[in-house]
Amino acid sequence: MTKVLLVDDEESIRNMMRMTLELDGYSVWTAADGPTALEIFQKESPDVVLLDVRMPGMDGVEVLSRIKEINRDAEVIIISGHGDMDMAVECLRKEASNFLTKPVSEELLSLSLKRSLEKVALRRKLKQYTRNLETLVREANVELEKAYQFRENIIENSPDATVCIRKGGAIIIFNSAAEKLLGYGKEEVVGKMNIVQIYLPGVARKIMKDLKSDDFGGPGILQKRQVTLVDKHGHEIPVYISAAVLYENGIEAGSVGIFTDLREKIKLEKQLLRSEKLSSLGKLSAGIAHEINQPLTGVLTFAHLLAKKFKNDEPTRKDLEIIIRETTRVRGIVQGVLDFAREMPMQKKLRRIEPVLDQTLEIIVHQQRFFGIALVKDYGSDIPEMAVDSNLMEQVFMNIILNALDAMDGSGTLTIRTRRLEEWVEIDFQDTGSGMPEIMLDKIFDPFFTTKDSTEGMGMGLGLAVSYGIVKNHNGDILVASREGVGTTFTIRLPVEMNY
């Protein structure tokens, strides 16, 4: 029911108006003075207030001001006598809705109340609409935000590095794969760097030119091709790029480039090539070695027989001994080649890897070449048993340790570490020897690559080739890191899942 508060100090007027209002169906509260009126207003929140201006104590103007302080939208109709025009005007200025002069006719009272109530209803509706509208706008914003976020997420989480630039080359999007690929953080790049800075000189311009030409996938499109990027530390990174021009209302606004890291692929290709090279070289050498072996045995046997026919100090005997020594060396080499090429069946057994390492060390630490070398063992505590052929593994460890000793030449530290990574066990052999230049690292696993002087009977360049083959047969890998003058670390990586 609609609530009306009637404020007048004259009791007769209050009674009379209350009757009229109640007859019209309103709930009526009455107050004889300002303070009472304000109290009821606070408590009941009436829809309309009928307010006499001239009252003792707090007058109508004051009451109106207070009411408006409580609720700016309160509907207040002023009732004034003939002599109160100034006050009535003042009230209108203070946003009274209307004013009636005394004596108030029933009709006029009903009419202005009706109008006021219509205004109240209208205002409520308007409020409701505004609220609805606000909700709608908010919801639309949320949707928009979601759509935007979604697109952002797709770009951000793409496994390929994605870089967007404005016309002119300023980078505006740099996703996390790009961060990982190039080593820069977004904050260093977005709005700060130009696309030319992530290419080798001249490459960015060439790409933009090709992107706009029709010849590489159509205008505005550049089909996949290989280029080289330069990361934060100046390292060159081979990648595939595909790119597209971005348009806004038909006008070129910038472009997007998507980069796929090729390092792993190139590494795998190299490994494959190496394995193929190893196997074909192995087969070829084995064939030759086999053929050489027989006549060699003949030469040796007869040289021995012949030598016995001469006395120790006879020059011919000395010459024959040279023949015997050199032929023995050749036979050693031939045997090495045969060992390398022979595909021995593996006899894998579950065992701990540390005792295999220790056995290898046991053979070698007492040899003269180990004198002057400090040995540090740092074995991890959580290394599981691994399925390995221990004879072959010993051979691998031996080759790597001998190489380290050669590189340290009588002084330095050999550190042997084992550790468990999630799916791998890694064994490091770190030496403080001569190290190797970067370009050599690609070649050391090639059969017959050596920098050693082979007249001493060592240095056939087979140690690492053989080791590589063995570790590959265990589904593992050998990695190498080296710095000239500082030392070298070989890391053997064996998969844990080969446990059975």
Ligand X SMILES: Nc1ncnc2c1ncn2[C@@H]1O[C@H](COP(=O)(O)OP(=O)(O)OP(=O)(O)O)[C@@H](O)[C@H]1O
* Contact flag: residue 415 with ligand X (CB under 6 A): no
Instruction: Please report, as residue ranges, which positions from 423 to 442 form the binding site for ligand X (by CB under 6 A).
Output: 431, 433-434, 436
**CB closer to ligand X out of 53 and 462:** 462
Contact between 206 and 196 (Cβ < 8 Å)? no
**CB closer to ligand X out of 226 and 451:** 451
> In the bound complex, what is the minimum distance in angstroms from residue 380's beta carbon to ligand X?
22
Q: Considering only CA atoms, which of 339, 321, 330, 320 is closest in space to residue 297? A: 330
> Which residues sit opposite 166 in a β-bridge?
254
* Contact flag: residue 360 with Mg ion (CB under 5 A): no
Q: Report the 10 Å Cβ neighbour count for 385.
A: 13
Contact between 172 and 157 (Cβ < 8 Å)? no
**CB closer to ligand X out of 91 and 492:** 492
C-alpha 169/C-alpha 185 separation (Å) is: 18
Half-sphere exposure of residue 32, counting CA atoms within 13 Å on the CB side?
4
**CB closer to ligand X out of 98 and 403:** 403
Q: What are phi and psi of 175, to 5 degrees?
A: -80, 180
Q: Which does 30 bind (CB under 5 to 8 A by kind): Mg ion, ligand X, none?
A: none
Instruction: Please report, as residue ranges, which positions from 458 to 497 form the binding site for ligand X (by CB under 6 A).
Output: 458-465, 488
**CB closer to ligand X out of 336 and 380:** 336
> In the bound complex, what is the minimum distance in angstroms from residue 399's beta carbon to Mg ion?
5
Q: Which of 116, 390, 403, 418 binds Mg ion (CB under 5 A)?
A: 403
**CB closer to ligand X out of 190 and 330:** 330
DSSP state of 142: H
Q: Is the dihedral of CA 393, 498, 442, 434 positive or negative?
A: negative
* Contact flag: residue 463 with Mg ion (CB under 5 A): yes
> In the bound complex, what is the minimum distance in angstroms from residue 284's beta carbon to ligand X?
18
Number of residues that bind Mg ion (CB under 5 A): 2
> In the bound complex, what is the minimum distance in angstroms from residue 404's beta carbon to ligand X?
4
Number of residues that bind ligand X (CB under 6 A): 22
3-class SS at 99? Answer: strand
N- to C-terminal Cα distance for the chain?
Answer: 84
| E strand residue ranges, 34-126 | 48-52, 75-80, 98-101
Residues in touch with Mg ion (CB under 5 A) = 403, 463
Residues that bind ligand X (CB under 6 A): 399, 403-404, 407, 431, 433-434, 436, 444, 449-452, 458-465, 488
